[in-house]
Amino acid sequence: MQDILNEIAKEMMAIKDKGKVASYIPSLANVDINQFAISVSLCNGEHYHAGCANTLFSIQSISKVFTLTLALGKLGENVWHRVGREPSGDPFNSIVQLEHEHGKPRNPFINAGAIAVADLIMQGHEPKETLAEILQFIHYISNDDSILIDEEVAKSELATGSRNASLAHFMASFGHFINPVDKVLGTYFHHCSIAMSTKNLANAGLFLANNGIHPSSGYPVVSSERAKRINALMLTCGHYDGSGEFAFRVGLPGKSGVGGGILAIAPGKASIAVWSPGLDIIGNSKLGTKALELLAEKTSWSVFAK
């Protein structure tokens, strides 16, 4: 595995066209595009890394996997009254379907869906309390208590978040919101601003690769049924209007973020995190996808073949 990761890292470093870093906020626009990291945490307890696997980056929409997990834990199947489970085929911040579908977002991984999920997990609490809960959960599943929110990123998200605010207010106009819109947005912007390394993320995803069970403690984070469902949503919706392409090329459930990270799950085998800040036109990590494609090829990991 170490040889495979070294090879992939070397190959990625040599590629000239790395895509484009997200430019909507300075803290993402200023990230050095030449960085690359890959981490693999195997279900048997082994860990492998290549590149800058300890460097922290903004996990952005990857956080939506963790907030969905929390929401399902708190509300169970009732989550699906607020958000759907269908791919949107639209960009992550699109508003078009919301009007036709009466303020119910297609899935929990597009922005509207994740904002609705943030509303669900707050349950009348203040954003601070909800964020503490999200962080505590991430600390536990990553085995790392030092993971924090990057306040600089959160401030910029808020300052440039007109589209997300529109999505939230539009949904609220249908009478769906439980908490004040501004507080839900505050929670959403902050959980997108959590900073993690690929090492952290690969560990955090292990329960999804391991039938819902946290491997080092043996504690069931979610039921195996639920882990299976979260993986299904990652596969069908985790890359927005690029989800079909990701499934075709990589063949594993994955969730991307505009910070350039991708968390991918090889059920029964491993949790994988990659980071390369350059994005394709859809907003998914260009080399991150390529690296996962190579890894899947070299390991034969796929949910579509044995």
Structure tokens at 167: 């999505």
Q: Which of 153, 250, 258, 274 is catalytic?
A: 258
Nearer of residues 212 and 253 to ligand GLN, judged by Cβ: 253
Active site residue: 21, 31, 39, 64, which one? 64
Does 64 qualify as catalytic in the annotation? yes
Which one of residues 27, 39, 41, 60 is an interface residue with ligand GLN (CB under 6 A)?
A: 60
To which residue do tokens 């895509």 refer? 19
Per CB under 6 A, does 157 bind ligand GLN? yes
The span from the CA of 105 to the CA of 93, in Å, is: 11
Closest CA to 264 of 225, 226, 290: 290
Q: Which residues contact 222 (CB under 8 A, 6 or more apart)?
A: 69, 72, 73, 207, 212, 230
Residue 258 a catalytic site member: yes
Is residue 92 a contact residue for ligand GLN (CB under 6 A)? yes
Residue 48 annotated to the active site: no
188 carries an active-site annotation: yes
Question: Which residues 241-260 are close enough to bind ligand GLN by CB under 6 A?
Answer: 257-258
Q: Which one of the listed residues 27, 240, 243, 286 is annotated catalytic?
A: 240
Q: Which is nearer to ligand GLN, 39 or 60 (CB)?
A: 60
Q: Which is nearer to ligand GLN, 197 or 210 (CB)?
A: 197
In the complex, the smallest distance separating the C-beta of residue 189 from ligand GLN, rounded to whole angstroms, is: 7
Residues that bind ligand GLN (CB under 6 A): 60-61, 92-93, 111, 157, 164, 192, 257-258, 283
